[in-house]
Structure 1
Amino acid sequence: MIRWDREDDGIVVLTLDDPDRAANTMTAAYVRGMEETVTRLEAEREQITGVVFVSAKKSFFAGGDLDSLRTPGPDQGAASFAQAATVKAQFRRLETLGRPVVAALNGSALGGGLELALACHHRIAVDDPRLEVGFPEVTLGLLPGAGGVVRTVRMLGLVTALTQVLLRGRRHRATAARDLGLISALVPSADDLLPAAREWIRANPGATQPWDVKGFKIPGGTPSTPALATMLPAFPANLRRELKNAPYPAPRNILAAAVEGAQVDIDTAFTIENRYFVELVTGQISKNMIQAFFFDLNAANARDVGDVPPIGKVGVLGAGMMGAAIAYVCARAGLDVVLKDVSLEAAHRGLGYSQRLVAEAVQRNRLTEAAGTELLSRISPADDPAALSGADVVIEAVFEDTALKHKVFAEVEELVAPDALLCSNTSTLPITMLAEGVRRQADFVGLHFFSPVDRMPLVEVIRGARTSDETVRRALAVVRRLRKTPIVVNDSRGFFTSRVIGTFTNEAVAMLAEGVPAPSIEQASSQAGYPAPVLQLMDELTLTLPQKIRRESAAAAGDAWTPHPADAVIDHLIDAGRPGRSGGAGFYDYENGKRTHLWPGLASYAKPGVTIPFEDLKERMLFIEAIESIKCLDEGVLTSVPDANVGSILGIGYPGWTGGVLQFINQYQGGLPGFVTRARELAERYGDRFTPPRLLLEKAERGERFA
């Protein structure tokens, strides 16, 4: 795991190279190797003039071993504490070796990799825009458990460490990391790393960490420093407001470990950090988040597309909000795009969307003016279907109307490449039905983007009844080229995401019909962990959309259709001229397009004496989406558990702490049997829609999980 090479100048080069993995991580083999290495460094100290850590991998060090981090349970706290203490002790022995130690970063150092680098006296990195350093642990429900909290606070100060490094899991590019102080120096190439490290070691034979120098003071002071003492109380208040009381313990633990650790000596601070780390690593939420944001996400992104034709020219039909945004992400990915609408004026308005995003990126130094100009040059507005001649991919993004979608495909099908991929960005209309408007139905597929397209990472790939396997592979290649995460589902009205989110919004409106005050509904959705309050979300989506979907679904279902308690409320608001934000009024009032407050008229739904437990409000939303997802899995709309979990979080905002819709069921108290019991309670109180589906009952009886 760690190769030892001592040069004639006494400098030991330690090469990190896990023989069993593509990246270096903190496996048990690494811990053993580091223990042997540090012990040997101490034993041969008199013959050593310095130490350099390098990596044989593309990255320097990828961080903790998530396979092991997702296993400890509440009864393994002592073992987890001891393991973390061992790694901390190794790093502490390294930085107090009495010899200069340098980390030479040829690639990214994240999590435990950055913690190793911070335990070195000097950090040199290649000036490569792909290189990243940071602590993403908070996004996995954890905190940096190998001294990362303690060292960044002592290096950068409490405020900078918390806001720039720890609380949001930010990843910093090489130049930004150097400017911040996480990296000491940059070199042009990997070949320059070792010479620069040797030069620094020769110039700094007595190197030591700043916090080991007598009289050291934390930049900006400790929590008792008057200026900092007046500022710190805002942190927990801001954190509570940001998290909206949702169950995300990692940011709270990071804040506590940082503030408490800043008031004591470094070894005591490490113990404090350990305790807060163990609370997280033995808890369920970190396991949920590791499963979703690492294992399930990797599964969704790892699909093999095989050999597919290269993508040259893309045609986007419709230059409205979605079409304009799709054109932007295609151009951002280096593709040439024709953005077509019924008039050249409308197409140019669509181009304006990209122009605004580029101007904003240039202003924030995320893009150079030259790069922005080049990006925009790839988008060609058009009103003539002939402009799509030879296009390899067509993405339709017009209004949700079957006849209109058939019409725009008919205009271009004979003009585009003979084997062009034909994609519809519909959110609800069955792909099999839309494919009837083209001759090459095997080449027709759904590509459901999510708004705002430039920021939302998910694309739902929908296979119609006649969509070929080759077409699905090509669609996946398009999604990959756009640097987005795909999930693959089979055809159904609403597919997976639209169908499931509809149950969530309907449940909230049903609560309003039952007499629950609207502010309580909004609070319940926020505290359940949804990124936006549910009635606010409905206003953004517009109320006419679910009404239209409902009417189409009811017509398709005929006598089998079952009305929902939310229907009358939605119809009433639309009839009252409150269709949502785009219409200037909905569940909320708006002034000049800006949301102000909940519409006072909603108070008319309140019913005196209605007392629904707040926990029921939260769980009704979580449960109804999970139950609908089970139905999607049972019907074959969903084909994998990772797709369900990833799609629910990245596409429709299911709370990340749950690990996704199906992981929420797995981790519910009592597992699947516990979920079944609770679902039956909700069904008895609020309606048959909570009745546990057959697939859930069968898996619960067999003692299985969704996996």
Structure 2
Amino acid sequence: MSEYTYEKDADGIVTVTFDAQDKSANTMTFAWLDAMEEMIESLKAEEGLTGVVLASAKKTFFAGGDLDFMLNSTQTAQEMYDYVERNKAPFRAMEKLPVPFVAAINGAALGGGYEICLACDHRIVVADPKAVVGLPEVTLGVLPGAGGVCRMVAMLGLEAALPLLAEGKQLRPDAALTAGMVDAIVETQDQLIPAAKDWIKANPKAGTKPWDKKGFKYPGGDATAPNVRMAAAMAPTMLYGKTRGLMPAPEKIVDIAVNSMRMGFDSALRAESRGLVALLRSPEAKAAIKTFFFGMQAVKSGKIRPEGAPTKFKKAAVLGAGMMGAGIAWAQAYKGLETVLKDVSVENAEKGKAYSNALADKRIKRKRMTQERKDGLMDLITPTDKDADYKGADIIVEAVFEDINLKAKVIKESFEMLADDGIYGSNTSSLPISVLAEFCPDPTRFIGLHFFSPVDKMKIVEIICGKQTSQETLRKAYDYVAQIGYIPIVVNDSRGFFTSRVFATYLDEGLALMQDGVSPVAIERAGWKAGMPVGPLAVHDEVSMELTRKAWETHKELDERLGEDSAFGKDNAATRHIGHAMVDLGRRGRKDSAGFYDYHADGTKTLWPELSQFVVEDRDVSIEDAVDRLIYRQVIETLRCLDEGVLNTETEANIGSIFAIGFPPHTGGALQFIHGKTKDLFLARAAELAEKYGARFVVPEGAIAKMFDSEQKAA
């Protein structure tokens, strides 16, 4: 078959090498399934068969299931169940053959790829950090449906298997060996198949799985063992604390994992299939697959990148060694990019470099970095107070304080240090790039690069194109962001761009709820129930209301300077009323130990009891309305960004809203949220909110039409 090669050696060992034609990775397509069924029949008919090695001709071992088919299938539940059962049948047939199977794992084996390995008797992986193994299906809203749940529990025991299954952990070779997910590691790929054959020769009778032997006992105790019963009882509560009941996949995984120990193995496999089918039909799974798999795939593969040859950056400069600049320097050096970190004094620049030193030390303590790796990283960061030290840089990232006059001065003075074909990026959260470009000698080479704080954890960059930014500059900026390992989303220039505009609506609606008589506790609870990482009042304190007011004043100055009345924050009246009043009261946020919360010496915090002074009218807002108001404000502002051309694609809207803003991930993102609700139900609910609470909930008709017209054209 075209999906694999089949070779039998003189010792009776067959090596099956997966090699899907016209594809960069092996996946569980219908062609592969036909090939697997044929392969099993060939092995059954083989005379003198002593063992089987499963290998791969691709860079990865096996990529997993056919998610495109699963997402877009029109099959009935019964048809999908039959398909899932057919998919996993070859694995059970492998276990029934009386010869040992060995997986020779040369690269990533994830999802269905690792489930193939689980059906083998022995797993050998190459010592390559890219050769990760795991079952990440839960992150896509589904569960391992080719025997992964049942086999992991049977192989490792419930207590060891649950975290790997319910969290979708992906482990590198050393960690996988420690966890029991692989059995051996070899140094080079050339050693894989010989090592697999040697194991088969040394273990000729290893062809029967432990769970198929009489008297099999689960590692760590069976379903009646006290420790297992305690783990099973605690798991739902612990899960709810993490998922808030918004993600059905982890709960389904726990249910099947626990109950798999109480029934026969084949019955457990069927229960697993039913669980997968139920999840596949859920809006959460469809949203996750669309955004976290296909959306991320589109970004990482460069589908939204301008065409042209890739750019490799060798030298970078970061101007400003404060929190943002220090974080950007870390991100660059971590990926091997030589970085000059410049500030007004060497002392300040050294402090910025010390930030990277502290981050590296934390990783060493957690055994995620070696001292040698740290030394190499630190050598790449050069602190300085001299412009000449970064002359010839391929990219300059200006990361000084969010003040237009300061940025104008820095841009003018530093641009000439760029290499002739270099680009200049400004790290700003809301200042118009087209305005900042006026201070740049060549505005075609100027672009916005909005990093998020803390930079070492927020792995996304909003790339902002000014009116004169060239496509070549955009392409280079895209390549720079990808080179340092961050997610690039591209937007067009606007006050607040995309992320700051939308995030501001979440903060403002929290205060609007306060004006409408909702208790501060209920406001924070509504944010939690919606799926946001932190309640809006807590976020206000973290951001600092003083900074919010300064940003507002900056935009007022810009309006006067440009002779315009910008739309930035025009609906955020509650923020202006309450947030500015809080600053006047000296309650600016967490840094001052006083904001919407009081911050105590023991590290705890409690809501400030005087917040009732900001109630305008008690409108008896239900918790359902409070939750929807927090979410719909963000979704509608995202639609406005799409309508105005600030956003280019739904994919970037969804990924940006989740990774930059913290929009509830179970929805698949701010625009996918609409698909999950369906257009008609979304519009009806928005109209209801607009009638009750105001025009800020009116949906821009053009954006909705743009979303669904383009979807129909694609279909």
Residues 421-461 of structure 1 deviation map (CA, whole Å, 9 limit, x = unaligned): 11100000000111112211111100001111112121111
Which residue of 2 is the match for residue 674 of structure 1?
681
Which residue of 2 is the match for residue 27 of structure 1?
29
Letter in 1 for 2:256: A
Is the partner of 1:51 in helix, strand or coil? Answer: strand
Asked if the contact 2:518/2:618 (under 8 Å) is kept, the reply is no
Which residue of 2 is the match for residue 277 of structure 1?
276
Which residue of 1 is the match for residue 158 of structure 2?
158
Asked if the contact 1:672/1:700 (under 8 Å) is kept, the reply is no
Letter in 1 for 2:705: E
2: distance between equivalents of 1:13 and 1:183? 19
Is the partner of 1:489 in helix, strand or coil? Answer: strand
Asked if the contact 2:461/2:487 (under 8 Å) is kept, the reply is yes
Mapped pair 1:691 → 2:705: no
Q: How many Å apart are 1:229 and its aligned residue?
A: 2.1
Letter in 2 for 1:684: E
1: distance between equivalents of 2:102 and 2:70? 28
Is the partner of 2:171 in helix, strand or coil? Answer: strand
Q: Note the aligned Cα RMSD (angstroms).
A: 2.0
Asked if the contact 1:581/1:593 (under 8 Å) is kept, the reply is no
Structure 1 residues 224-373: aligned runs within 5 Å: 224-245=224-245, 247-301=246-300, 302=302, 303=305, 306-307=308-309, 310-373=312-375
Structure 1 residues 404-553: aligned runs within 5 Å: 404-553=406-555
Judging changes above 3 Å, is the alpha-carbon distance between structure 1 residues 195 and 680 closer, same or farther for their aligned structure 2 residues? same
Q: How many Å apart are 1:705 and its aligned residue?
A: 6.4
1: distance between equivalents of 2:601 and 2:324? 23
Letter in 1 for 2:606: H
Mapped pair 1:653 → 2:623: no
Residues 92-113 of structure 1 deviation map (CA, whole Å, 9 limit, x = unaligned): 1111111111111111100001
2: distance between equivalents of 1:318 and 1:505? 28
Q: How many Å apart are 1:304 and its aligned residue?
A: 5.2
Judging changes above 3 Å, is the alpha-carbon distance between structure 1 residues 131 and 642 closer, same or farther for their aligned structure 2 residues? same
Which residue of 1 is the match for residue 20 of structure 2?
18
Residues 558-579 of structure 1 deviation map (CA, whole Å, 9 limit, x = unaligned): 3975562332111122122121
Asked if the contact 1:62/1:108 (under 8 Å) is kept, the reply is yes
2: distance between equivalents of 1:430 and 1:296? 27
Q: Comparing 383-392 with 445-454, which one deviates more in the overlay? A: 383-392
2: distance between equivalents of 1:332 and 1:526? 34
Q: How many Å apart are 1:463 and its aligned residue?
A: 0.6
Residues 487-532 of structure 1 deviation map (CA, whole Å, 9 limit, x = unaligned): 1111111011111111111111111111111121212212211122
Asked if the contact 1:300/1:646 (under 8 Å) is kept, the reply is no
Q: How many Å apart are 1:26 and its aligned residue?
A: 0.9
TM-score (norm 2): 0.94
Which residue of 1 is the match for residue 221 of structure 2?
221
Residues 124-162 of structure 1 deviation map (CA, whole Å, 9 limit, x = unaligned): 111112210001111110110111111111111111111
Which residue of 1 is the match for residue 607 of structure 2?
598
Q: Which runs of 5+ in 1 are unaligned?
A: none
2: distance between equivalents of 1:651 and 1:30? 38
Residues 662-683 of structure 1 deviation map (CA, whole Å, 9 limit, x = unaligned): 1111221xx2222211111110
2: distance between equivalents of 1:475 and 1:103? 41
Asked if the contact 1:672/1:696 (under 8 Å) is kept, the reply is no
Judging changes above 3 Å, is the alpha-carbon distance between structure 1 residues 559 and 85 closer, same or farther for their aligned structure 2 residues? closer
Is the partner of 1:460 in helix, strand or coil? Answer: strand
Judging changes above 3 Å, is the alpha-carbon distance between structure 1 residues 420 and 700 closer, same or farther for their aligned structure 2 residues? closer
Structure 1 residues 169-188: aligned runs within 5 Å: 169-188=168-187
Asked if the contact 1:513/1:566 (under 8 Å) is kept, the reply is no
Residues 595-639 of structure 1 deviation map (CA, whole Å, 9 limit, x = unaligned): 522222224446896422222222222211111111111211111
Mapped pair 1:52 → 2:53: yes
Q: Which runs of 5+ in 2 are unaligned?
A: none
2: distance between equivalents of 1:563 and 1:482? 35
Mapped pair 1:621 → 2:622: no
Which residue of 1 is the match for residue 674 of structure 2?
665
Letter in 1 for 2:181: L
Asked if the contact 1:126/1:174 (under 8 Å) is kept, the reply is yes
Judging changes above 3 Å, is the alpha-carbon distance between structure 1 residues 53 and 524 closer, same or farther for their aligned structure 2 residues? same
1: distance between equivalents of 2:460 and 2:705? 31
TM-score (norm 1): 0.95
Is the partner of 1:177 in helix, strand or coil? Answer: helix
2: distance between equivalents of 1:673 and 1:364? 50
Is the partner of 1:414 in helix, strand or coil? Answer: helix
Q: Comparing 590-599 with 447-456, which one deviates more in the overlay? A: 590-599
Is the partner of 1:600 in helix, strand or coil? Answer: coil
Asked if the contact 2:515/2:616 (under 8 Å) is kept, the reply is no
1: distance between equivalents of 2:224 and 2:35? 41
Structure 1 residues 30-179: aligned runs within 5 Å: 30-44=32-46, 46-72=47-73, 76-163=76-163, 165-179=164-178
Judging changes above 3 Å, is the alpha-carbon distance between structure 1 residues 92 and 342 closer, same or farther for their aligned structure 2 residues? same
Q: Comparing 83-92 with 470-479, which one deviates more in the overlay? A: 83-92
Which residue of 1 is the match for residue 639 of structure 2?
630
Judging changes above 3 Å, is the alpha-carbon distance between structure 1 residues 90 and 559 closer, same or farther for their aligned structure 2 residues? closer
Letter in 1 for 2:647: L
Q: How many Å apart are 1:533 and its aligned residue?
A: 2.2
Q: How many Å apart are 1:697 and its aligned residue?
A: 5.1
2: distance between equivalents of 1:117 and 1:94? 11
Is the partner of 2:416 in helix, strand or coil? Answer: coil
Letter in 2 for 1:589: D
1: distance between equivalents of 2:696 and 2:617? 25
Asked if the contact 2:138/2:250 (under 8 Å) is kept, the reply is yes
2: distance between equivalents of 1:293 and 1:666? 15
Is the partner of 1:566 in helix, strand or coil? Answer: helix
Residues 386-439 of structure 1 deviation map (CA, whole Å, 9 limit, x = unaligned): 222222211111111000001122232233434431110000000011111221
Mapped pair 1:586 → 2:587: no
Residues 67-115 of structure 1 deviation map (CA, whole Å, 9 limit, x = unaligned): 0121246x72212211222222221111111111111111110000100
Asked if the contact 1:588/1:595 (under 8 Å) is kept, the reply is no
Is the partner of 1:232 in helix, strand or coil? Answer: helix
Is the partner of 1:558 in helix, strand or coil? Answer: coil
Q: How many Å apart are 1:591 and its aligned residue?
A: 2.9
Judging changes above 3 Å, is the alpha-carbon distance between structure 1 residues 90 and 500 closer, same or farther for their aligned structure 2 residues? same
Letter in 2 for 1:647: G
Judging changes above 3 Å, is the alpha-carbon distance between structure 1 residues 691 and 699 closer, same or farther for their aligned structure 2 residues? same
Letter in 1 for 2:526: A
